Amino acid sequence: MLTKARIAVLVSGGGTNLQALIDAQQRGELQSGEIVLVISNKPGAYALQRAEKAGIPALTITRKDCGSTEAFEAALLAALEENHIDLIILAGFMSILSADFTRRCPDRILNVHPSLIPSFCGKGMYGLRVHQAALDYGVKVTGATVHLVNEIPDGGRILLQKAVAILPEDTPETLQRRVMEQAEWILLPQAAEMLSANIVKEKRHD
């Protein structure tokens, strides 16, 4: 009987959202799921060290090594299947997955985005660019969104959102940090627990 959803976290960079998930698991707040695999598409990403420190197996799979998007996604899928992954979490994963990929995993891929979708999102909007765009526009409130991933970049069903104030002296970096601290690191583990609990319940009824 499945007692916990098996989670893979896909990363590209620093991995502070991965760390928030690991910490939530260690505190018992993420209890319906277990992070069993971390995959980076960037060699040397600091997130890989966080995985190692937490004793979580980690892999690097790059598009460049694979030679094409199709081969890259096939390698990702193979690693996910081999590890019997129930839930995929994109935590600062800076690569858009194709419709072919996302259709294979309906309602099983979570993403965290550093704005209040539908503002400042979609293709080309990631990392500090999102915060720069919010500052350029002059909005006074931004935030973070956790949503399901479908074939539309940042277009899947929204699960959780939290607003964060923008201060007059903000730079993209200070804003990014506040959005992470006040929203992303809280929402992502909450959504991971919600979805994991659903997966466990569904499997029990199988």
- Please list the active-site residues: 113
Distance CA 189, CA 30 (A): 6
Distance CA 69, CA 53 (A): 30
| Residue 142 is a binding residue for ligand GAR (CB under 6 A) | no
Token pair listed for 193: 């627990």
Nearer to ligand GAR among residue 72 and residue 126 (C-beta): 126
Token pair listed for 192: 């991971």
> Torsions phi, psi of 147, nearest 5?
-140, 160
Compute the least distance from the CB of residue 19 to ligand GAR, in Å: 8
Nearer to ligand GAR among residue 114 and residue 189 (C-beta): 114
Token pair listed for 168: 């007059």
Distance CA 44, CA 57 (A): 15
Whether the link from the prior residue into 118 is cis, omega within 30° of 0, is: yes
* Residues 6 or more apart in contact with residue 137 via CB below 8 angstroms: 120
Residue type present at position 104: R
β-strand pairing of 58-60 with 33-40: parallel
**Which residue in the set 33, 92, 143, 189 belongs to the binding site for ligand GAR (CB under 6 A)?**
92
Nearer to ligand GAR among residue 93 and residue 200 (C-beta): 93
Compute the least distance from the CB of residue 14 to ligand GAR, in Å: 4
Compute the least distance from the CB of residue 146 to ligand GAR, in Å: 9
Interface with ligand GAR (CB under 6 A), residue total 18
State which of positions 103-122 bind ligand GAR (CB under 6 A): 112-114
State which of positions 12-41 bind ligand GAR (CB under 6 A): 13-17
| Residue 91 is a binding residue for ligand GAR (CB under 6 A) | yes
Compute the least distance from the CB of residue 13 to ligand GAR, in Å: 4
Please identify, among the stretches 10-18, 62-70, 72-80, 167-175, the one whose residues bind ligand GAR according to the rule CB under 6 A.
10-18
Compute the least distance from the CB of residue 163 to ligand GAR, in Å: 15
Element at 191 (helix H, strand E): helix 185-204
| Residue 133 is a binding residue for ligand GAR (CB under 6 A) | no
Residue 42 Cα distances to 69, 110, 146, angstroms: 14, 20, 23
- The site for ligand GAR (CB under 6 A) is made up of 11, 13-17, 47, 91-92, 112-114, 126-127, 130, 176, 180, 184
